[in-house]
Amino acid sequence: DVKVTQSSRYLVKRTGEKVFLECVQDMDHENMFWYRQDPGLGLRLIYFSYDVKMKEKGDIPEGYSVSREKKERFSLILESASTNQTSMYLCASARAGFYEQYFGPGTRLTVT
């Protein structure tokens, strides 16, 4: 079974803090994705990566950056957290050339 894990299920941070969300997959997938999910807005793509050290902006990259130093790990960074970044963050991975995405359990981030 594909396993995608995220470093925390729940996280509470203060405005202005630097926040790291980690995602690890164990199936040697080339593609990895970060989404946020908000009520009424659905899943929105923040960034994706199709290879180590490669990244592409998604629909809502502002206020976020990413890092992929190893194939299995994709990190989302909030340089200076703001209250409007309170959300559920979901990581996903997919094999290159395939559409099916496997999601992690999500991190519910609250910024106060």
- Binding footprint of other proteins, residue count (CB under 8 A): 22
Two structure tokens written together for 99: 């559409």
Is 41 an interacting residue with respect to other proteins (CB under 8 A)? Answer: yes
Q: Kindly tell me which residue out of 58, 61, 63, 86 binds other proteins, with binding defined by CB under 8 A.
A: 58
Smaller CB distance to other proteins: residue 16 or 89?
Answer: 89
E-strand stretches of 1-112: 4-6, 10-13, 19-25, 31-38, 42-49, 56-57, 65-70, 73-78, 87-94, 102-103, 107-111
Is 31 an interacting residue with respect to other proteins (CB under 8 A)? Answer: yes
Q: Would you tell me which residues interact with other proteins (CB under 8 A)?
A: 31, 40-45, 48, 50, 58, 90, 94, 96-101, 103-106
